[in-house]
Structure 1
Amino acid sequence: MARTNDVVVIGGGIVGMSTAYAITRAAPGTRVTVLEKEDGPARHQTGRNSGVIHSGIYYRPGTLKARYAVGGAAEMVKFCAAHDLPHEVTGKLIVATERAELPRLHALVQRGRKNGIPVRELLPARIAEYEPHVRGIAAIHVGTTGICDYAAVTATLARLAADAGAEIRYGCEVRSITRHPGGVTVGAAGPDGGTETTAKALVNCAGLHCDRISRLAGDDPGLRIVPFRGEYFELAPARADLVRGLVYPVPDPAFPFLGVHLTRGIHGGVHVGPNAVPALAREGYRRRTVRLRDVAGTAAFPGTWRIVRRHWRYEAAEVHRSLSRAAFTRAVRRLLPDVRADDLIPAPAGVRAQAVLRDGTLADDFVLSGTGRVVHVLNAPSPAATASLPIGREIASRVLGALEG
């Protein structure tokens, strides 16, 4: 006999698994099923990033990103420690390399302090104490930044949720959602053919496909996911000693990407990047991967062309760095002058699920929408992994409140 669920969660990334975990903790006995189209958890955004536990310094005070990242960073460290998962609180430098960046660096100091984050301002001599090979005219040190293995965190959340009674079903790609007075019925294509899952409530954590899932559920998301591929390199092992920890440039506040940065990962290698270039598929991890449905959907959305008009110079520079190893190396050398082109080894790319509004605005905050028994997570790129535990609790609170109501 098919089980009758209380909640069905679509998506097995870190937000989906955190939601299932939070529901089982807040309301033991709640019947939760997670549907994930891949054969395991964390196959997309969660498992394809540099593993940084973000402090929350970049985010406007009072936003969901600021609130959840600051608390979520400390909570993620505690979670990793409690479950013996690899992690380290490294701190990081944000480095200005030219005078025009100094006002933006000072604004970050003020923003960090408003968000309750310990920030130290550094002159060039102090930069060298942290990172001897990094050059800059000023910097700030953010002590609460760290690194971890988010794929391992997600697998642990899945195990804990399953131990508490949740059902995790891999290889189930959602094809239909039917709403009825008692809740929803979700049709999925699985390894054994078509399946149906009935539940009283639904949570959409589908990441790169969340807007499509929203429309399947009969809701207008009011936005479109436009995929941006983040292209990384790694420092050659013999040159990895050029970087001790995490080093970032001063970001451009007009764009939601942090620029080419240097990240010593939890397993020892040094990530360099990313470029952020338009992807020709929502899961376009390779430059040659093209999905006509994805390209057509992006091209048909009016917000896409408004982005192009607004940010074409920025994106032209990103594409140039993508196509030219020399241009990418020059970007890295702004922070790390000793690096050479042959020090950079191509590394696996990621794709950011960036929500874009119809007017061409890039969604700057997490977007949780839906009322009653259907909740959609429509924008949860970085720092969503950092903030995944409080995000999961927030979603759980909304869903359980609707069920009780």
Structure 2
Amino acid sequence: MRYDYAVVGGGIVGLATAHALAGRHPGARIVLLEKESGPAQHQTGRNSGVIHSGIYYAPGSLKARMCAAGVGSMMAFCDEHGLPYEQCGKVIVATAPEELPQLDRLYDRGLQNGLKVQKLSGEQVREYEPHVQAIAGIRVPSTGIVSYRQVSAVLVDLIRARGTEVRFGVKVERLTPTADGYEIGTSAGSFAARVLVNCAGLHSDRVARLAGTDPRSSIVPFRGEYYELRPERRSLVRGLIYPVPNPDFPFLGVHFTRMIDGSVHAGPNAVLAFAREGYRKADVNLRDLREVLANPGFRTLARQNLREGAMEMLRSWSKATFVRSLQRLIPEVSADDIVPCAAGVRAQALTPEGKLVDDFLLIDGPHALHVCNAPSPAATSSLEIGRAIAARVPAAPSRPTLSLTPQGVPA
């Protein structure tokens, strides 16, 4: 069968894209291909479940715009489909005087991004989080928590109900351009599609190259390792507690997150994973590792961040060091209070010059659109990303060509 649209990737961005395509183009023939046995098996199902506010992102960036809109659309989606979520808010706290200028910059950025943010003294921080040690903070009330696995499961049901074919256990192995689309070779045979949408996450750069498109970056996998507070110590955390992030590093620092099931996670750190799906320290994929180590951009990044990288590695192997990071926020936490829990891997795009791509990266190609960088807050923004993609691909079947802006999304 020939399809109008083929979406590669069954994480929340791929599912949201298929959902938006089916809604915008009724009657179109759509197939979603996912190599795993079910949806949300990687970044989507292994993150902290935060509905991000958008405070961290550069004003006017795709992240800032889509995240701000995504908060409302994600919560509305949950209301419509009876999914549990909570708009619990979060505090970002400074624990040392040298962090105050960056805290002020974050506050200003929040205002620029249209957020209702509140400056807090140390005493006011403790009104929200009594166990936190801080000299100042910011309250971000729009932040929430949800299970993105549950959201993804509902999306699967919705897109199937609209006639989209969802094929799990199907790995894309080759892409052959044709006069009016692609021949898609997979582990389950061939598929033909007029338009390809690449939402392959950890493998998005490889899928883009299979399609003959330069992704202008390479995916570097960073593992985020978490601990969980023992049930009897969950009372130490009421909501979400974040440190002031390092402005030169794309990660938010070790923090506390109350999950929608009531558990409290502490983390993550950010260490190089030796496999794109390397959720354990012992996971090694030689192809993945060779690609990273041979990448001149990664070598540049490593040289420029030796101190931060060494600290992340030490925190990975030393529970005592991890605990000391947590104690900067909550001094009462001890090593006996936390136990290891599941890790995640962030698919972070890196340019050949050694710069971490700090925005969503959507690249157009002949009859295709490639989502080549969609780490956090992509889950929060997923419904908006899906709508933006659906708005740019042509209606089926009357328009045979694809025309996109340079960034692949509306200005």
Q: Given the two structures, how large is their TM-score scaled by the length of structure 1?
A: 0.97
Map of 2:373 onto structure 1: 379
Aligned AA (1:63): S
CA deviation digits over 1:348-383, x for unaligned, max 9? 000000000000000000000014521000000000
Is the 2:61–2:359 Cα contact (8 Å) retained in structure 1?
Answer: yes
Corresponding position of 2:405 = none
CA distance in 2, matches of 1:24, 1:181: 24
Q: What secondary structure, in the 3-state scheme, does the structure 1 residue paired with 2:386 have?
A: helix
Partner residue in 2 for 1:181: 179
- The list of structure 1 runs, each at least 4 consecutive aligned residues, that deviate by more than 4 angstroms after superposition, is none
Matched, 1:282 2:280: no
CA distance in 1 between counterparts of 2:293 and 2:321 reads 28
Q: 1:401 to 1:363 in 2, by over 3 A?
A: farther
Decide which of 360, 384, 387 is 1:393's aligned counterpart: 387
Where does residue 218 of structure 1 map in the other structure?
Answer: 212
Do the aligned partners of 2:25 and 2:396 also contact (CA within 8 Å) in 1? no
Query: 1:57 is aligned with what amino acid?
Result: I
Match of 1:243 in 2: 237
Q: Within 2, Cα distance between the matches of 1:394 and 1:272?
A: 33
Distance 2:386 2:394 in 1: 12
**Which letter does structure 2 place at the counterpart of 1:158?**
V
TM-superposed deviation, 1:152? 0.8
What is the CA RMSD across the aligned residues, in angstroms? 1.0
How far apart are the structure 2 equivalents of 1:226 and 1:13? 18
Q: What residue is the counterpart of 2:407 in the other structure?
A: none
Distance in 2 between residues matched to 1:250 and 1:313, nearest whole Å: 18
- Give 1:78-157 correspondences, 5 Å limit: 78-157=76-155
Give CA-to-partner distance per residue, 1:32-91, whole Å, 9 cap, x none: 100000000000000001100000000000000000000101110111111011110000
Alignment check: 8 A CA contact 2:4 2:396 kept: no
| Identity rate, percent | 54
Deviations 1:329-366 (A, max 9, x none): 00000001000011111000000000000000000000
Contact 2:25/2:395 (8 A) holds in 1 = no
- Match runs of 1:239-388 below 5 Å: 239-388=233-382
Q: Specify the SS of the correspondent of 2:138.
A: strand
Secondary structure of 2:212's counterpart equals coil
CA separation in 1, counterparts of 2:168 and 2:326? Answer: 39
Q: Distance in 2 between matches of 1:263 and 1:17?
A: 25
Gaps of 5+ in 2: 402-411
Secondary structure (helix, strand or coil) at the match of 2:269 reads strand
Work out the CA distance in 2 between the residues paired with 1:235 and 1:196: 47
Contact in 2 for aligned 1:372/1:402 (Cα 8 Å): no
Give the distance between the partners of 2:125 and 2:107, measured in 1 at CA. 16
Alpha-carbon distance in structure 2 between the residues aligned to 1:152 and 1:28: 25
Indicate how the Cα distance of structure 1 residues 108 and 83 shifts in structure 2: closer, same or farther if over 3 A, else same: same
**Of residues 58, 61, 85 in structure 2, which corresponds to 1:60?**
58
2:394 aligns to what SS in structure 1? helix
CA contact (8 A) 1:95 1:250 kept: yes
Give, in whole Å, the separation in 2 of the partners of 1:165 and 1:234.
40
Secondary structure of 2:371's counterpart equals: strand
- Give the Cα–Cα distance (whole angstroms) in 1 for the partners of residues 28 and 152 of structure 2: 20
CA distance in 2 between partners of 1:343 and 1:68 (Å): 37
Contact 1:174 1:187 in 2 (8 A): yes
Structure 1: segments with no counterpart, 5+ residues:
none
Distance in 1 (CA, whole Å) between partners of 2:63 and 2:356 is 14
8 Å contact kept, 1:372–1:399? no
